[in-house]
Structure 1
Amino acid sequence: MKTISLFFSMMLLVICMGACEGGPVVSKATGSPGDLIVVMDKSAWEGPAGIAIKDLLSSDVPGLTQPEPVMDISYTEPQNFDRMLQIVRNIMIVEINPSMYTKAGMNYSQDRWAKGQMILKLQAPDAASLELYITNNAKSILDFFVKSELNRTIETLDKTYSSYTYKKVKEIFDVELKAPESMKFYKDTTNFFWASNNAAEGRRDMIIYSFPYTDNNTFTPEYLIAKRDSVLKANIPGSFENSYMTTETRFGGVSFTPITVKGKYCAEIRGLWKMVGDMMGGPFVSHARLDEANQRVIVVEGFVYAPEKDKRNIIRQVEASLYTLKLPGEFDQPDEEPLQAELSN
């Protein structure tokens, strides 16, 4: 938790003054990935409903090597929510008013005060119903802001991506994938491609591999993790003899989530990787999808090695790339945002 810093406020003021001098223009949303401001009466913010919001938005990102909050929260009272703060990229506005609302609910809007902005509004007749609503809709609230951040990265990738990786992946697998532009280093073998930014700090990597779809139990965590370990052992060696990458099954293991990508089933796995025989590890996230036209499974994965850095925003960048994967039959589909907010508007 933090309050609005003097530096942040001054930066926004300069931006707003520039906009005013140039006339009525649409500002670009400000802030770093993960920044979010909550607008709420102070008494409610300090009460049970506010505590529920803080606990939810400050909860740990799953699958990281150390605790990091889902969002970086700032707070302001409604009377201080002026133009300087209205152009922040993520905003949550909370209203408690028994004369206006009969039940708790939420809705959202985009680009109200700035381009690239997402606003979630929570309303309720009283603090107790709001607290209960937050508890019952925790996942939807978190997903809204996490998906908003992923969408922003996907939009960037659509314009700026590694053309070399794109060409090689298309050539080897006949699929399309937009990896971050910095991924210019690579290794490719039969049915396996590995791209990396090869950075000394904040290293991020992506791999893609395929295998025939012959088993009805393929899309289970047991099958996909076993396949992952066999593929990584064969293709990603460590620095020492007999060292190789594998899945870290301790410390809470991995999570398996069925999701929908481009209208079709996708198995999402996230967790930690490690090097057997070496002191290296970090977070990963993977998508496994069925290429129906060729009866094969395509797996695309991003993983991060950054022991000296926070990893939330880094892993989100490579995760966003996974959603750009297009299988045969999808190449002509428009590049719509694949992560739509699952809230009423």
Structure 2
Amino acid sequence: MKKIVCSLFLLMALMLTACNSGPVVTRATGFAYEVVVVMDKNYWEGTAGDAVKGQLTSPVPGLPQAEPSMKVSYSQPSDFNGLLTYVRNILLVDINPNIYTKTTLASEENRWAFGQLVLTLKAPSPEVLIEYLEQHPNQITDLFVKEEMKRATEQMEETYSSVVMDVLKKNHQLSLNVPEEMVYYKDTTDFFWTTNNASTGRMDVVVYTFPYTDPNTFTPEYLVAKRDSVMKANLPGAFPGSYMATETKYFDVDYSAITVHDKYCGVMRGLWKMVGDMMGGPFVAHVRLDEKNQRVVVAEGFVYAPETDKRNFIRRIEAALYTLRLPGEYDVPEEKTK
């Protein structure tokens, strides 16, 4: 009997050893846009720590009120073990004049858990670290945000509203993965609208198209004017004469260019308002050229959440915009359903 028990313990030990030496199988924990910073306490409570926190908590662009880009938790190196190593976003900061001569930033995925991003920041002194962060504003935050966008996009590629997908493919020759709870919609010739119709944290997505005639189409001035005309015609408010418009008097609309599916994509973000009503909130839009049909395609998400923070809502809907595919980009049949 003793031999059997010993053999069982030996087998369990071998299995644990094999698991520990094999590939990472534990899934990362924690919520989106949260990060654990591991750093010596003396530096964390000094100017270097302030600089790190300042970058991670920098305001999210395009929101009506300031909200931090990341929620930050702290751990001393000696306490960083166990479940903390499974957190999805981790920043390791090591300041050591005896080892480093310059500041470096490295990234590693799935170090301790699957679906994890670990950034390691090394510097010879607090002063050099601060100088590096000043020269690379938002670099660390952008890496974490990009990874969170990637996670959300991948999730929506698997679980999405089949109602929206089917209508857009059939009537507009477009493919778009939006959150699965978006099943209410309105569809016209060149305009599509869907919403989750939530009482808290309402998210809406619109897709509209218009003929491409001029390269000046891809300018913020033209796109804001086009947006206002389309929204006024298609999204009336609850009161007579009320309609959606872009807030330009007190808030600048930001426009930048990125690459999506190896093609140009304009990104427009700002605030929307209801003329004749008290509603408003943030919006973000992707603007692309459908060369096959010589039309401009605008996919926009906007949020109405006056009672709570809007960061995670607008970022979730922005992640959906990255799934927009034009004719010729979604030829592979999609079997997933909501």
Q: TM-score w.r.t. structure 1 length?
A: 0.88
User: Which range moves more in the overlay, 231-240 or 167-176?
Assistant: 167-176
- In the TM superposition, what is the alpha-carbon distance from 1:118 to its structure 2 partner? 0.6
Unaligned runs of 5+ in 2: 1-15
Contact 1:243 1:278 in 2 (8 A): yes
Counterpart Cα distance in 2 of 1:216 and 1:267 = 12
Superposition pairs of residues 166-205 of structure 1, within 5 angstroms = 166-205=165-204
Do the aligned partners of 1:206 and 1:303 also contact (CA within 8 Å) in 2?
A: yes
Q: Is the counterpart of residue 316 in structure 1 residue 308 in structure 2? A: no
Q: 1:99: Cα distance to partner?
A: 2.6
For 2:306 and 2:47, locate their aligned partners in 1 and report how far apart those are by CA, in whole Å.
Answer: 36
What is the DSSP-based 3-state SS (H/G/I as helix, E as strand, rest coil) of the residue aligned with 1:146?
Answer: helix
Kindly state the Cα deviation for residue 334 of structure 1 after the two structures are TM-superposed.
Answer: 11
User: What SS class does the counterpart of residue 38 from structure 1 fall into?
Assistant: strand
Aligned pairs (5 A) from 1:224-235: 224-235=223-234
Counterpart of 1:72 in structure 2 is: 71
Amino acid at match of 1:247: T
Distance 1:308 1:205, change over 3 A: same
Match of 2:206?
207
Q: 2:30 aligns to what SS in structure 1?
A: coil
CA distance in 1, matches of 2:122, 2:138: 17
Aligned residue in 2 for 1:117: 116
Match of 2:274 in 1: 275
Instruction: State whether structure 2 residue 52 is matched by structure 1 residue 53.
Output: yes
Letter in 2 for 1:241: P
Q: Which residue is 1:264 aligned to?
A: 263
Alpha-carbon distance, 1:139 to partner: 2.9
Which residue matches 1:16? none
Distance in 2 between residues matched to 1:142 and 1:56, nearest whole Å? 7
User: Per-residue displacement from partner, 1:58-101 (whole Å, max 9, x unpaired)?
Assistant: 11111112221100000111111112211111000011122322
Q: What is the letter of the counterpart of residue 148 of structure 2?
A: E
Aligned to 2:103: 104
* Distance in structure 2 (CA, Å) of the matches to 1:126 and 1:311: 37
SS at match of 1:207: strand
Q: Which residue is 1:84 aligned to?
A: 83
Distance 2:318 2:96 in 1: 39
Q: Greater CA radius of gyration, 1 or 2?
A: 2
CA distance in 2, matches of 1:176, 1:130: 44
Query: Tell me, what secondary structure is at the counterpart of 2:250?
Result: coil
- Is 1:296 aligned to residue 295 of structure 2? yes
The RMSD of aligned alpha carbons is 1.8
Equivalent residue pairs, number: 316
**Which runs of 5 or more structure 1 residues have no equivalent in the other structure?**
1-19, 336-345
Q: Contact (CA 8 Å) 1:208, 1:298: kept in 2 or not? A: yes
Structure-2 separation of matches of 1:139 and 1:255: 17
Q: Is this contact kept in 1: 2:55–2:138, CA < 8 A?
A: no
TM-score w.r.t. the length of structure 2 is 0.90
Map Cα deviations across residues 268-290 of structure 1 (whole Å, 9 max, x no partner): 01111000001100110000001
What is the rounded CA distance, in whole Å, between the counterparts of 2:210 and 2:245 in structure 1?
18
In the other structure, the counterpart of 1:254 is 253
Q: 1:45 & 1:250 partners in 2: Cα distance?
A: 40
Give 2:172's aligned amino acid: F
Distance in 1, matches of 2:250 and 2:108, equals: 38
* 1:68–1:310 contact (8 Å) kept in structure 2: yes
Residues 308 and 169 of structure 1: CA distance in aligned 2, closer, same or farther (over 3 Å) = same
The match for 1:159 is 158
Query: Alpha-carbon deviation of 1:333?
Result: 7.5
What is the distance in 1 between the residues matched to 2:301 and 2:138? 23
**SS class of match (1:115):** coil
Contact kept, 8 Å, 1:172 with 1:191, in 2: the verdict is no
Question: C-alpha displacement at 1:129, in angstroms?
Answer: 1.0
Q: What secondary structure is seen at the aligned counterpart in 2 of 1:287? A: strand
TM superposition shift of 1:332: 4.2
What is the CA distance between 1:43 and its match in structure 2? 1.3
**How far is 1:23 from its partner?**
6.0
1:127 maps to a residue whose letter is: P
Instruction: Give the letter aligned to residue 112 of structure 1.
Output: R
> Which residue in 1 is equivalent to 2:62?
63
Q: Name whichever of 244-253 and 210-219 sits farther off.
A: 244-253
Task: Quote the Cα distance in structure 2 between the aligned partners of 1:135 and 1:260.
Answer: 26
- The residue that corresponds to 2:218 in the other structure is 219
The answer (yes or no) to whether the contact 1:107–1:121 under 8 Å persists in 2 is yes
Secondary structure in 1 aligned to 2:64?
A: coil
Q: Deviations over 1:226-246 (max 9, x none)?
A: 000000000000001110001
Q: Is the 8 A contact 2:95 2:124 kept in 1?
A: yes
Q: Look up the equivalent residue of 1:50 and give its one-letter code.
A: G
Distance in 2 between residues matched to 1:122 and 1:46, nearest whole Å:
17
Structure 2 contact 247–270 (Cα < 8 Å) conserved = yes
